[in-house]
C-alpha cells in the first residue's frame, strides 16, 4: 500500500443504537488491500479533542474486523457504549477520531474526522 493522507470521514453515532461503519481501502489501481497477508493490526480512538481523554478505543477483534477484501468494519454495541456513564459516548457532543492500521512494518492512518453523537428519544427494546 502506498503512502497517502488519511481520508476525512465524519461519523454519526446515535444514542441507544449499535454503531456500524465500513471502510473499503484500495490501492492506486483500485484493487482492495488484503489486510490478512501479511497480518495487519488496527486501532481506533475516539477522543474529546486531539490530545484529550480517550472516550472509546477499538482494536482488532474488539470492535474492528479486517478482511482480505479491503474492508475495515467498525462496531460498537449499543449496550456497551450508549450508557449514562460519563466516560462513554452517552453525552450528546462532538468528538474526534482516527483509525490506524499497521501492516508489516508500516503504519497507515486510514481515516480521521469528527464523531457526532445524536440524542435518542426511544429507550432500546428489551
Q: What is the pTM of this model?
A: 0.85
Give pLDDT < 50 ranges for the chain: 2, 83-87
Name the nearest CA neighbour of 90 among 65, 58, 124, 113: 124
Q: What whole-number distance in Å separates Cα of residue 89 and Cα of residue 95?
A: 9
Q: What whole-number distance in Å separates Cα of residue 53 and Cα of residue 33?
A: 32
* pLDDT attached to residue 87: 47
Q: Which domains does the chain have, with CATH numbers?
A: 7-118 (2.60.40.10)
* Grid cell at residue 115: 464523531
SS3 56: strand
Cis peptide before 38 (omega within 30 of 0): yes
pLDDT tens-digit readout, 52-78: 988 889 999 899 999 999 999 999 988
* pLDDT attached to residue 81: 57
CB 75 within 8 A of CB 18: yes
Amino acid at each position: 500500500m502506498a503512502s497517502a493522507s488519511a481520508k476525512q470521514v465524519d461519523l454519526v453515532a446515535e444514542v441507544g443504537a449499535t454503531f456500524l461503519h465500513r471502510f473499503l481501502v484500495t490501492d492506486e489501481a483500485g484493487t482492495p488491500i488484503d489486510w490478512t497477508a501479511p497480518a495487519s493490526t488496527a486501532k481506533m480512538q475516539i477522543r474529546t479533542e486531539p490530545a484529550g481523554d480517550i472516550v472509546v478505543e477499538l482494536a482488532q477483534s474488539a470492535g474492528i474486523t479486517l478482511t482480505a477484501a479491503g474492508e475495515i468494519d467498525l462496531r460498537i454495541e449499543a449496550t456497551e457504549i450508549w450508557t449514562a456513564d460519563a466516560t462513554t459516548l452517552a453525552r450528546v457532543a462532538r468528538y474526534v477520531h482516527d483509525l490506524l492500521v499497521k501492516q508489516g512494518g508500516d503504519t497507515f492512518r486510514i481515516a480521521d474526522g469528527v464523531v457526532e453523537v445524536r440524542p435518542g428519544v426511544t429507550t432500546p427494546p428489551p
